[in-house]
Structure 1
Amino acid sequence: MRPITRSALRPYVCPSCRSSGSLGRRRFGSKSNESPDVYDVVCVGGGPAGLGLLAALRASPVTSKLKVALIETQDLQKARTWNLDSTQYSNRVSSLTPSSVSFLQRIGAWDHLDTDRAQKYQEMQVWDGETDSRITFDWSMETSPFEDLRTVATMTENANLVRALLSRISESGDENLSIFSNTTVSSIENGTAQPDGPDLSAWPVLSLAPSGSAQSHAPARIAARLLVGADGINSPVRRFADIGTEGWDYNRNGVVATLSLAEPDSTPFPIGTRTAYQRFLPSLGGPIALLPLPNNHATLVWSTTAENAAYLKSLSPKAFIAMVNAAFRLAMTDLKYMMRMERPATATSDYEDSHESELTWRLQHTPQADHIPPMATGVQEGSVAAFPLRFRHASTYISPRVALVGDAAHVIHPLAGQGLNLGIGDVASLSKTIEYAVDHGMDVGDLLTLERYTAERWATNAKIGGVCDMLHKLYNVPGQGPVAWGRSLGLEVINRLPFVKGLLMKNAEG
Structure 2
Amino acid sequence: MRPISRAVLRPYVCQTCRHGIGAGRRRFASQADSPDLYDVVCVGGGPAGLGLMAALRASPITSKLRVALIETQDLTKAQAWNLEPTQYSNRVSSLTPSSVAFLRQIGAYDHLDVDRVQDYQDMQVWDGQTGSRISFDWSMETSPFEDPRAVATMTENANLVRALLRRIAQSGDENLSLFSNSTVASIETGSDLKPEGPDLSAWPILSIKPTGPGESTPKRIAARLLVGADGINSPVRSFADISTHGWDYGRHGIVATLALGDLDIPPFPASKRTAYQRFLPALGGPIALLPLPNNNATLVWSTTPENAAYLKSLSTPSFLAMVNAAFRLDMTDLSYMMGMSSSSDISHQDELTWRTKHTVLPSQIPPPATAVQEGTVASFPLRFRHAAQYVSPRVALVGDAAHVIHPLAGQGLNLGLADVASLSKTIQYAVSHGMDVGDLLTLERYSSERYLPNAKIGGACDLLHKMYTVPGEGPVAWARSLGLGVVDRLPFVKSFLMKNAEGY
Q: Same fold (TM over 0.5)?
A: yes
Distance in 1, Cα, partners of 2:240 & 2:151: 37
Q: Give deviations 1:207-262, integer Å, cap 9, x for gaps.
A: 0111142899x961000000000000000000000001010000000000000000
Q: Give deviations 1:307-365, integer Å, cap 9, x for gaps.
A: 00010111111110000000000000000001001134xxxxx77x7111111111111
**Aligned partner of 1:412 among 396, 405, 410:** 405
1:86 aligns with 85
2:56 aligns with 57
Note closer, same or farther for the CA distance 1:474–1:257 as it changes in structure 2 (3 Å cut). Answer: same
**Aligned partner of 2:18 among 6, 15, 18:** 15
Structure 1: stretches of 5+ with no match in the other structure: 23-30, 345-349
2:260 aligns with 261
1:153 aligns with 152
Distance in 1, Cα, partners of 2:139 & 2:270: 14
Note closer, same or farther for the CA distance 1:124–1:504 as it changes in structure 2 (3 Å cut). Answer: same
Distance in 1, Cα, partners of 2:490 & 2:219: 60
5 Å matches for 1:8-157?
8-13=8-13, 15=18, 19=22, 34-157=33-156
AA paired with 1:356? Q
Distance in 1, Cα, partners of 2:193 & 2:225: 19
Q: Would you say 1:482 and 2:475 are equivalent positions?
A: yes
The 8 Å contact of residues 5 and 201 in structure 1, kept in 2 or not, is answered as no
1:376 aligns with 369
Shift of 1:19: 3.2
Note closer, same or farther for the CA distance 1:127–1:17 as it changes in structure 2 (3 Å cut). Answer: farther
Shift of 1:21: 11
5 Å matches for 1:352-363?
354-363=347-356
1:509 aligns with 502
TM-score, with length taken from structure 2: 0.95
Distance in 2, Cα, partners of 1:21 & 1:389: 56
Say which SS state the counterpart of residue 374 (structure 2) adopts. coil
Distance in 2, Cα, partners of 1:130 & 1:18: 72
Say which SS state the counterpart of residue 290 (structure 1) adopts. strand
Note closer, same or farther for the CA distance 1:475–1:108 as it changes in structure 2 (3 Å cut). Answer: same
AA paired with 1:452? R
1:25 aligns with none
The 8 Å contact of residues 19 and 195 in structure 2, kept in 1 or not, is answered as no
Say which SS state the counterpart of residue 105 (structure 1) adopts. helix
Note closer, same or farther for the CA distance 1:425–1:195 as it changes in structure 2 (3 Å cut). Answer: closer
Distance in 1, Cα, partners of 2:318 & 2:249: 27
2:391 aligns with 398
Distance in 2, Cα, partners of 1:18 & 1:154: 57
The 8 Å contact of residues 249 and 384 in structure 2, kept in 1 or not, is answered as yes
Shift of 1:147: 1.1
Distance in 2, Cα, partners of 1:504 & 1:96: 16
4+ runs deviating over 3 angstroms: 16-22, 195-198
The 8 Å contact of residues 82 and 159 in structure 1, kept in 2 or not, is answered as yes
1:239 aligns with 238
Distance in 2, Cα, partners of 1:180 & 1:256: 31
How many residues are treated as equivalent by the alignment? Answer: 495
The 8 Å contact of residues 121 and 272 in structure 2, kept in 1 or not, is answered as yes
AA paired with 1:15? R
Shift of 1:192: 1.0
Note closer, same or farther for the CA distance 1:377–1:499 as it changes in structure 2 (3 Å cut). Answer: same
Distance in 1, Cα, partners of 2:142 & 2:111: 30
1:318 aligns with 317
5 Å matches for 1:452-463?
452-463=445-456
Deviates more, 1:122-131 or 1:206-215: 206-215
Shift of 1:271: 2.4
AA paired with 2:22? S
Structure 2: stretches of 5+ with no match in the other structure: none
Distance in 2, Cα, partners of 1:504 & 1:325: 29
Distance in 1, Cα, partners of 2:94 & 2:38: 34
1:26 aligns with none
Q: Give deviations 1:419-458, integer Å, cap 9, x for gaps.
A: 0000000000000000000000000000000010000000
The 8 Å contact of residues 4 and 190 in structure 1, kept in 2 or not, is answered as no
Shift of 1:12: 2.8
